[in-house]
Amino acid sequence: MAVRAAIARIAEIDASWAEASVLARAVETDVPAMPLNDWQLMQGARERALAVRDQLRAQRREAEIYVGLEGGFHSISIEGEWYTFLRGWAYATDGKNGTFGATPSICVPASLAKKVIEGRRELGLVIDEVAGMQDVRSRQGAWGILSRDLVTRSMSFEIALIAAFAPFYNKEMYS
């Protein structure tokens, strides 16, 4: 899991993170199931973190940091040519202050982007068909298929989480 991997990396430079425990919760958001721009991706990540906070508080539980992840597409036109990127965002908050971190981006083949965007289908379903596999999302993800497993979905989110966590482990720079 990306959260555990990010925490382990941070623990290498800040031993207090070695004691962190992770409690995962599935939550709903108001963004589309397949976000198609950075605004939707960032909003989805933020909504997920805040929904987890609210869910835990309703159970009279607290966490030091609440996290939300959201992945999808971001398309942009450069000199009249459209490019679609697979991208994700992480949002981390202590319940008062929050920060974002982004995954790297990888260009999505136009034929694949078209099946998702014009077909109004989730990437996970389309990538399963294209790759001839089942539940790619739970393993290497579309990232793994597009990069021939040099970068996986989890690895991409690990980077986003390290970025989103920065104000919490590098307080001197962010104060």
pLDDT computed for residue 137 by the predictor? 86
Instruction: Please provide the CATH number assigned to the domain covering 2-107+151-170.
Output: 3.90.950.10
Percentage of the chain lying above the pLDDT 70 cut:
100
Domain extents in the chain: 2-107+151-170
**What is the CB neighbour count within 10 angstroms for residue 111?**
8
- Residue indicated by tokens 């579309």: 142
Region 125-147 average pLDDT: 92
**How many CA atoms, within 13 angstroms, populate the side-chain half-sphere of residue 56?**
19
- Residue indicated by tokens 């104000």: 167
Region 70-86 average pLDDT: 96
pLDDT computed for residue 150 by the predictor? 97
pLDDT tens-digit map of 91-114 = 999 999 999 999 999 999 999 999
Region 29-52 average pLDDT: 96
pLDDT computed for residue 98 by the predictor? 97
DSSP 39-100: HHHHHHHHHHHHHHHHHHHHTT---S-EEEEEEEEEEEEETTEEEEEEEEEEEEESSS-EEE
pTM higher than 0.75 for the full model? yes
- Residue indicated by tokens 């981390």: 92
pLDDT computed for residue 6 by the predictor? 97
